[in-house]
Amino acid sequence: MNYFIIGFYALVIGASSLAAFYQKRTAFILLFSLTLVSFVMGIVGGEAMLWSVTILAGLIAFSAGVSYSFREFLVIILPNDMAKEMRTAPLTAGFGLFVIFTYAISGIFAPIIAPYGEAEVITSAFAPADENMLLGADQLGRDMFSRIIYGARNTVGLALLATILAFLMGATAGLYAASKGGKLDQLLGRIVDVIMSIPSLIFSLLLLSIFGTNTTTLIIVIAIIYAPRVYRLARSVGGNVVVMDYIEAAKLRGEGTWYLIRKEILPNSTAPLIAEFGLEFCFVFLLVAGLSFLGLGIQPPTADWGSMVRENATLISFGEITPLIPAGAIALLTVAVNFVVDWMLDRTSGLKE
Amino acid sequence: MGDIISIIAKRLGLGLITLLVISIIIFFAVELLPGDIAQAVLGQGATEDNLAALRAELGLDRAAPLRYLDWLGSALTGDFGNSLVSKTPVAEAIGTRFGNTLFLATYAAVIAVPAAIFLGVLVALFRNSVFDRVANVVTLTSISSPEFFLGYVLILFLAVKTGLFPAIAKIDDDMTLFDKLNRTFLPALTMVLVVVAHMMRMTRASIINLLASPYVEMARLKGVPAWKVIVKHTLPNAWAPVINVVALNLAYLITGVVLVEVVFVYPGIGQLLVDAVTKRDFPVVQACCLIFAATFILLNLAADVGSILTNPRLRHPK
Amino acid sequence: MSQDKTVLLNIKNLIIEGYSDEKWVGIVHGVDLKLHRGEVMGLIGESGAGKSTIGLAAMGFTKDGCRIGEGSSIEFDGMELTTTPQSDLQSLRGSRIAYVAQSAAASFNPAHKLIDQHTEAPLQYRIQKRLESQEDAMELYEKLRLPNPREIGFRYPHQVSGGQLQRAMTAMAMACRPDLIIFDEPTTALDVTTQIEVLSAIRDIVDQFNTAAIYITHDLAVVAQMADVIKVLLKGNEVEEADTRTMLSNPQDDYTKSLWAVRDFKRDQKPRPTEGSPLISVKNVDASYGDTPVLHDVSFDIYEGMTVAVVGESGSGKSTVARCITGLLPPTKGECLFKGTPLPPDYRDRSKDQLRQAQMIYQMADTALNPKVKISEIIGRPAQFYSGLTGPALKNRVDELLDLIELEPAQYYNRYPPELSGGQKQRIGIARSLAAEPTFIICDEVTSALDQLVAEGILRLLDKLQNELNLSYMFITHDLATVRSIADEVVVMQYGKVVEQGPKDVMFKPPHHAYTDLLLSSVPEMDPDWLTTLLEERGVDDIGEAAKANKRD
Amino acid sequence: MTDRTKKEFKELLTQDAKSGKLGRRDFMRFAVAAGMTIPLASGLWSSEVAAATPKKGGKFRVGVHDMNTSDSHDPGTYQSVGQIQIAHTHRSYLTEITPENGLGPDMADSWSASPDAKVWTFELNKNATFHNGKKFTSADAIASLNHHRGEKSTSGGKALLSSVSDIKAKGDHTLVIELNQGSADLPWFLTDYHLVMIPAKADGTADWESGTGAGPYEITSHKPGIGTNYKRHGGWHREGAYFDEIEMVGLNDPNARQTALITGDVDAITSVDLKTAALLGRNPNIVVENVPSGSAITLPMFCDVAPFDNLDVRLALKYAVDRQDLVDKIMFGTATVGNDYHVSAGMPYAPTDIPQRPYDPDKAKFHLKKAGMSNLEVNLSAADSILPGAVDMCVLYSEHAKKAGIKLNAIREPNDGYWSDVWLKKPWCFVKWGARPTPDQMFTLAYKDDAPWNESHWQNKRFNELLLMAKAELDDTRRAEQYREMCVLASDDGGTVIPFFANFVYARTKKVAHGSSLAASWELDGGRGYHRWWFA
């Protein structure tokens, strides 16, 4: 027993008692289960395990703190009506926004933030982290941290563009089919069936082999592969909207299809489409990573998280964390995006009631 | 029931047309690929001489549409041709591998589907609690990690560090079922992690979606306990979207596992397909793609039939 | 009456708050309620009066996002519900306090058979074994005069008609023989002829088991038949309470009086113009949805400046006629004429001017207005679309239209539909149709989703507009009161056929066609004895017959 | 060095040598460097190290990369590493490359040439039999070689035998090969992986379909792309084949191979991921073999396409690459720096006195200036399927070239179709060559003016004259001089940058033992570890 262990247990037990005393149910359950878990962990894993529990709890508390202050910050700087929305946002949404904001900043200002160029070789391969290199070096001796920063720009940019393009194509076609119906709807449905029946990885492999692997084709091919999924969603959401009386009113007025889609259907289909956007965004990441696994990805020396995971993946067998960093970056962003999406969904569905 | 059968018949007909269209697309996509099979087979060792000889031998000197029609003709009679590279019948090359793929997919599905639905119900029950939030983060993380990466991490912890399971999932026909299950546990687990999240989130969403319905409120006002409200009153009405997502994920388990096969060296059909694309081995590519497409179509059909069967309005017409 | 009985439910200073816009807002502001055993109390009020909220609170239940405020007390049979733990409250529900919801069709779980839902609570509380409970259900079904009481329970909800479902739900509420049942507008969604059956069934069973009940409704005539005591609510406050006859004969409060006075609006009937062809003429129209025929040989005329009411119960085909006229559903036979010229059957083939001439106002203002578009744009679009107005001219026109519908332009110009009340939305719908400067407007059940006072305002507005702009209306409605107040001519429809048509004064005087008679006699009247008298007149067995006649499946 | 440290060093050396970390040559060198006399060291070698004699038995499981579902037994289609490993296990060749990288007999016992090197006579091994029991005769040898010849042949080995005019049998066990042009290297050629001996059918064609060979092991089951199982060939004509059974598993994913070796699922693997080779070597149960090979990385520039038609541009690019940096970063030290001529140190006639071209950005700038192209911009195409890290190498090269003011764009080409669409098509690309046994073969294949694979489009009259002269030269000294001159020409005038020769890096568990040195021709001891190695 040393002071750390005694202090640790004293702290958790004291905190749970306090929570119980003040009848804070959730807080009590949380703290008390933490206490129980720590007992088990302490017995199984000893002091080291307790340290990791402490660090983990600290991390969570830290991110909660960051999320809270970021949310408050947004409340202060945003105009009135948006600030009102923000104030009711859950902490997870605040966290999501913070992460997205951070990524956006690092992506946009990558050349200023990154200490080295994305292709610049500065040291030997896999050099460990030091005061110059926060995360050490990669397999060519390039600064990992700089590449992560640049990767935010390249990977997120590519995934974002591809997802946006997929949504433009899929949503337009889906809403058009929903509002037109009939033969065209059927035809589009069949085309979508065909595209979706071909496994996406194989389809992209074929397409990319045919048209070559530059960023533009990559974006277009990914968009083509994901557009059918968006189409299906847009078609069904649009299908629910077109039966509304206001659509009938607009049709009877003699409005054209394009007006119907743009003014009447689209504004009422955004919520599920946005939710889908969050998920598709993740899947695009994964497809890009999978493609670079098969050797078709972003051109080097451009830093791309998917390829970075791939390039360093074998290291994981030796317990090195290098490949975890870009993978973590991907995971963190997708989690963040989905937090925000969840919040938006809650908000829009809440308005309806 | 007659309705269902006619729906199935109609959908199967459409499915066949879809397959035909896919076969045309695949054929011409393979045609469009830079280089041809002769170059791919001979690789760096190709010379004009032996290229021409090989092309003549494989009949590549004939016009593409003619070759497609030839293939289609024999495919319609059930003969999918021989692999252009190994010269063995395609059915032979694909047979056992597809069996292996199905085995792994079934293995993963048997774990993943019940787990996903159980967890989905659980998080719907404890919605907005800490448990829900944690499950949310964990599943999002597992969705957003590349599957080969998940595979490597599992290998590290469950094979290299602890030696609990074998890292190489090579299976033979003469293994016992238990051996096979043990050998393929890690790839199955990887796939489970990949698909569970999606299905679980959909289960949760469909259940929560229904919680505002008047009959759920009615059940609450009847004094039905919370878990029973979810299991008895919500879940039976939430099947349709859940079944659809399950079907989509089952299709993925069969068609989307190339990377898992590579990581765990599992002799499934995905690796065969990638190899065949590389070698421009058209009959094999075609057969694999058609199998995948047919799987997808059948699973979708099954999902639709499932949604009909779980809908009392359609199951018990007036 | 029944003052000597013991108090079952005693609500004191009930405050209920809902969370919106980041703060708790009061919904019910300190209402007291005392209910004795075996007593039926009618809670009446317009939407937003808090009557359903009070009903649920009597079960110790609040909707998500609501809470019972400090200082409230709900005492049920000596038990203070505001401090009872959730698990105990839960075991109270279904066993001692039961609930009958407004829409039985939506409140029965579509996935389970009626009888399985019926037996759920008795099995949950281990009051009865499954078979016992099923037997009991069948008995209750019989008591509630459901057809085939021994079999109907084994059907799924969608296989049973609305009126029967409502009775089955009442049976379900009775399953544990509760002390108190909350009826939340149980007949509002039903046709008048069906409503009678349900009302009588409910009244009988409540009497028989001497169950106390809170009967929530906005319909005075209905509550007059059911309740011993009536409490009138307005915006979460009690207006007054008295026993039924006193309340009907001698209301104290001005608000109550205004409620009673609603049915007074009646305008003079206009005669048909003697010359000229009708503005709209429906000629021998047949129509069908897919292979299902809906309309058979429907013909009627609408003359300029007149209001024609098309009356019928759900499924009579009255809305389908409107779809044929607007061209949404091209008729399979016959045609629609506008000022003597045939209109193209499909709206897509009609000219912009033809489209402009005929406009429509919908029943559900919620779905008729795009929630994501500003009011100014909703109203402005037809003006812009047909007349090509832009800029200040457009704004002036919108202001003018808002003035016409008696809404303050500056205040509503930039708002969105979800921010408006039901009546305001309906006015916007009217303004939108007026923006096209039409000669003919189809009003599809425009008042049936509105509170009576509001509905009255809408009717007055429509009347005013008709006089100012010389409009013709086709009024689709199931509500005979509306017909009485505004129509010039009446068309009665049943099963897709026109049963009877003619000027209003002729139609409302005997002799009637049998169906018209049934419709007219089924409209509840403000007389507490109306139901009893009617049932005696018809004889109880006739109700079963009427039920069969109504059931089309 | 004190006596004590010497003693320790000796023990250490012996230890390493026993475990196979040190070959005989290295052992001797270190031992002498440590102050031992040559006889002493030699004695130590034979007494201590070589005493580890082979034992029979066991099942040798090997994880092999580049195994494809399309791999067939047709020797004409041999191309992948997997096929080459399989070929050396169940089939045999007339000659072999010995562990010491010399030429040795396999199914041919001995051979001799006419003075002009045009007629070669091979005496075949009389004990050799095929797996089906059939005796190996000259008819089989003729059928096997003819499989790669003739108009209709689609074989990748066709070019090797293009100068063969006739193959005749002189009795059952004597084979006569006639060439239309003298070649002193024919016995070396016959070690090429395509030229396996397979039984002849009645019609004189080769029966490759059955998979029957005369190799040390017989196939018991073969699943293309998945794996192959073997048992020992009882009637094998040579020493060795210590393992009872062999199991080759296709493990194409580098991580999977590595993991399989660590977890003991296999006993040896091909192609260790270089990034983690050092980490893998730290595992006490695993030995990583690092064998210099003749396998070169070449970056051929089209000498007839601008800007590469300018010699100064070529030289500038040759000076603008830091070869050692590439070896360190891309190959993690497991490669040998190249000097722009395609003869590795392990090849016969390798020149030793040509000075190494340094990384000299200033000199590169000087040449650019001379060429009048101070703002040179060039594209270099590569794909990672050719060599893991190929693209990274080009990126690194471009960083080096930047210092010389050259803008070098690394282009990642699709893995798929690289050989058909990039190689010989793009003016500058990344190529990896398998080891060829002799300089003549390499030069004839890829540097001769009219060779179809003259990947740099290089036309040098003197070089081509020398090539023809050396071909039929049976005098070794004169030949060595001719090759030296050719190397200088290639280095100073040629269009090919050869940054380095890759090493073979493969790994085995300590359970597996092998002789004192390892052949440099292919992975796993020239693809012959299966019959040369044993379980310790």
Residue at token pair 């009427």:
C546
pLDDT at site C537? 77
Measure the CA–CA gap between D125 and D213, rounded to whole angstroms.
15
Residues C115 and C228 in one domain: yes
Residues C254 and C308 in one domain: no
Measure the CA–CA gap between C221 and C200, rounded to whole angstroms.
14
Chain B contact probe: residue of D259, D286, D431 with most B CBs at under 10 A: D259
Q: What mean pLDDT is reported for chain C?
A: 83
Question: Do A335 and B21 count as a contact with CB atoms less than 8 A apart?
Answer: no
pLDDT at site C405? 84
Residue D11 has pLDDT above 70, yes or no: no
Measure the CA–CA gap between D268 and D248, rounded to whole angstroms.
10
Q: What is the DSSP code (8-state) at residue D92?
A: B
Q: Is B20 exposed, middle or buried, given 0-12, 13-18 or 19+ CB atoms closer than 10 A?
A: middle
Measure the CA–CA gap between C203 and C213, rounded to whole angstroms.
10
Q: Which long-range contacts (CB under 8 A, 24 or more apart) does D331-336 make?
A: D331/D274, D331/D389, D331/D500, D331/D502, D331/D503, D332/A125, D332/D274, D332/D275, D332/D277, D332/D278, D334/D274, D334/D277, D334/D290, D334/D502, D334/D503, D334/D505, D335/D500, D335/D501, D335/D502, D335/D503, D336/D292, D336/D500, D336/D501, D336/D503
Contact C14, C54 (CB under 8 A): yes
Instruction: Tell me how many degrees the CA angle D283-D287-D289 measures, rounded to the nearest 5.
Output: 135
What confidence tier does B217 reach under pLDDT thresholds 50, 70, 90? confident
Residues C165 and C306 in one domain: no
Contact A51, A2 (CB under 8 A): no
Number of compact structural domains in chain C: 2
Question: Could you give the percent of chain A with pLDDT greater than 90?
Answer: 1
Residue at token pair 């497609």:
B68
Residue at token pair 């006089």:
C467
Of A87-91, A195-199, D6-10, D239-243, the poorest mean pLDDT is in D6-10
pLDDT at site B129? 75
pLDDT at site D28? 61
Residues C246 and C291 in one domain: no
Residue ranges, comma separated, of all CATH 1.10.3720.10 domains in chain A are 106-352
Residue C545 has pLDDT above 50, yes or no: no
Measure the CA–CA gap between D13 and C353, rounded to whole angstroms.
103
Q: What is the pLDDT of residues A176-224, one digit of tens each?
A: 888 887 888 888 888 888 888 887 777 887 888 778 777 888 889 889 8
Of B16-20, B60-64, C262-266, D439-443, the poorest mean pLDDT is in C262-266
**Where a domain ends, among C260, C293, C324?**
C260
> H or E element: which one contains C12?
strand C7-20
Q: What is the pLDDT of residues D153-184, one digit of tens each?
A: 777 777 778 888 889 898 888 999 999 888 88
B303 SS3 class: helix
- Does any domain span residue C269? no
Residue B41's nearest CA partner among B49, B50, B32 is: B50
Residue B291 has pLDDT above 50, yes or no: yes
pLDDT at site B41? 66
C398 token code pair = 């919108």
Residue D434 has pLDDT above 90, yes or no: no
> Which of C102, C121, C553 is facing B222, going by the closest CB pair?
C121
Q: What is the pLDDT of residues B39-85, one digit of tens each?
A: 666 666 666 666 777 777 777 777 778 888 888 888 788 777 777 77
pLDDT at site B111? 92
Chain A contact probe: residue of D412, D415, D422 with most A CBs at under 10 A: D412
What confidence tier does D536 reach under pLDDT thresholds 50, 70, 90? confident
pLDDT at site D87? 92
D18 at B interface, C-beta within 8 A? no
- Does any domain span residue C151? yes
Mean pLDDT of D474-482: 87
Question: Do B137 and A335 count as a contact with CB atoms less than 8 A apart?
Answer: yes
Residue A160 has pLDDT above 50, yes or no: yes
Measure the CA–CA gap between C90 and C60, rounded to whole angstroms.
9
Smallest Cα distance from A261 to chain C, Å: 12
Q: What is the pLDDT of residues D189-223, one digit of tens each?
A: 888 888 999 999 888 888 888 888 898 999 998 88
D286-300 and D496-509 beta bridge pairing: antiparallel
> Which of A125, A300, A312 is facing D391, going by the closest CB pair?
A300
- Chain A residues in contact with D396 (beta carbon < 8 A): 121, 140
Q: What is the pLDDT of residues D344-354, one digit of tens each?
A: 887 888 888 88
Residue B20 has pLDDT above 80, yes or no: yes
Q: What is the DSSP code (8-state) at residue D158?
A: G
**Better-scored residue on pLDDT, C417 or C273:** C417
D243 SS3 class: coil
**Better-scored residue on pLDDT, A306 or A256:** A256
Mean pLDDT of A101-118: 82
Q: What is the pTM of this model?
A: 0.77
CATH, domain range A106-352: 1.10.3720.10
- Does any domain span residue C544? no
Measure the CA–CA gap between A264 and A270, rounded to whole angstroms.
11
**Where a domain ends, among C225, C260, C295?**
C260
Q: Measured between alpha carbons, how far is residue C263 from residues A35, A303, C41, D240 in Å?
A: 69, 76, 23, 113
Q: What is the pLDDT of residues D356-394, one digit of tens each?
A: 999 999 999 999 998 888 888 999 999 877 887 888 889
Residue C5 has pLDDT above 80, yes or no: no
Residue A353 has pLDDT above 70, yes or no: no
> H or E element: which one contains D223?
strand D217-223
Mean pLDDT of C47-68: 83
D159 at B interface, C-beta within 8 A? yes
Residues C66 and C127 in one domain: yes
Mean pLDDT of C175-191: 85
Give the C window 110-169 contacts with B, CB below 8 Å.
Answer: 110-112, 120-121, 124-125, 155-156, 158-159
pLDDT at site D1? 43
CB atoms closer than 10 angstroms to residue A136:
19
Q: What is the pLDDT of residues A257-276, one digit of tens each?
A: 888 888 888 888 887 787 77
Of A307-321, C222-236, C271-285, the poorest mean pLDDT is in A307-321
Q: What mean pLDDT is reported for chain A?
A: 79
Question: Do D415 and A296 count as a contact with CB atoms less than 8 A apart?
Answer: yes
What confidence tier does D314 reach under pLDDT thresholds 50, 70, 90? very high
Of B230-239, D2-11, D312-321, D381-390, the poorest mean pLDDT is in D2-11
pLDDT at site D489? 92
- Does any domain span residue C197? yes
Q: What is the pLDDT of residues C11-22, one digit of tens each?
A: 888 888 887 766
Residue A338 has pLDDT above 60, yes or no: yes
> H or E element: which one contains D177?
strand D174-179
| Residues in Cβ contact with C61 at an 8 Å cutoff, skipping those fewer than 6 apart | B220, B221, C89, C93
DSSP string for C104-137: HHHHS-TTS-HHHHHTHHHHHTTSS-HHHHHHHH
Smallest Cα distance from B177 to chain C, Å: 39
pLDDT at site D9? 57
pLDDT at site D43? 59
Residues C237 and C284 in one domain: no
What confidence tier does D45 reach under pLDDT thresholds 50, 70, 90? low
Residue B161 has pLDDT above 50, yes or no: yes
Residue at token pair 């096209």:
C436
Question: Could you give the percent of chain D with pLDDT greater than 90?
Answer: 28
Of C156-160, C363-367, D484-488, D490-494, the poorest mean pLDDT is in C363-367
- Chain A residues in contact with B258 (beta carbon < 8 A): 201-202, 294
* First and final C-alpha spacing in chain B: 13
Domain that residue C240 falls in: 7-260
pLDDT at site D12? 59
Measure the CA–CA gap between D502 and D500, rounded to whole angstroms.
6
> Which of C99, C106, C111 is facing B221, going by the closest CB pair?
C99
Smallest Cα distance from B71 to chain D, Å: 20
pLDDT at site D23? 60
D to A contact (≥3 Cβ pairs closer than 8 Å):
yes
pLDDT at site A350? 44
**Better-scored residue on pLDDT, B142 or A176:** A176
Residue C216's nearest CA partner among C424, C27, C57 is: C57
Residues C248 and C292 in one domain: no
Smallest Cα distance from B160 to chain D, Å: 6
Mean pLDDT of C381-388: 87
Residues C97 and C129 in one domain: yes
Q: What is the pLDDT of residues C103-159, one digit of tens each?
A: 888 888 888 888 888 888 888 888 888 888 888 888 888 888 888 888 888 888 888
B130 at A interface, C-beta within 8 A? yes
- Chain B residues in contact with A294 (beta carbon < 8 A): 258, 274
Residue C524 has pLDDT above 90, yes or no: no
Residue D444 has pLDDT above 60, yes or no: yes
Measure the CA–CA gap between C133 and C137, rounded to whole angstroms.
6
pLDDT at site D22? 58
Measure the CA–CA gap between A108 and A98, rounded to whole angstroms.
15
Sequence length of chain A is 353
Contact B280, B34 (CB under 8 A): no
Q: Give me the helices (H) in C438-502, please.
A: 452-469, 480-486
Pick the CATH number of B96-285 from 1.10.3720.10, 3.10.450.50, 3.30.70.940, 1.20.1250.20: 1.10.3720.10
Question: Could you give the percent of chain A with pLDDT greater than 70?
Answer: 90
Question: Do A199 and B155 count as a contact with CB atoms less than 8 A apart?
Answer: no
Mean pLDDT of C283-297: 85
Q: What is the CATH number of the domain that holds C463?
A: 3.40.50.300
Question: Do C362 and A245 count as a contact with CB atoms less than 8 A apart?
Answer: yes
A40 at C interface, C-beta within 8 A? no
Measure the CA–CA gap between C259 and D177, rounded to whole angstroms.
119
Chains interfacing with B (3 or more CB pairs < 8 Å): A, C, D
Residues C200 and C286 in one domain: no
pLDDT at site C3? 46
Mean pLDDT of D214-237: 89
D420 at B interface, C-beta within 8 A? yes
Question: Could you give the percent of chain C with pLDDT greater than 70?
Answer: 95
**Better-scored residue on pLDDT, D40 or D268:** D268
Task: Extract the runs of DSSP E, i.e. beta strands, from chain B.
Answer: none
D450 at B interface, C-beta within 8 A? no
Residue at token pair 């989509």:
B248
Q: What mean pLDDT is reported for chain D?
A: 85
| Residues in Cβ contact with A335 at an 8 Å cutoff, skipping those fewer than 6 apart | A96, A99, B137, B140, B141, B144
Q: What is the pLDDT of residues B174-208, one digit of tens each?
A: 778 888 888 889 899 998 988 888 888 888 888 88
Residue A294 has pLDDT above 70, yes or no: no
Chains interfacing with D (3 or more CB pairs < 8 Å): A, B
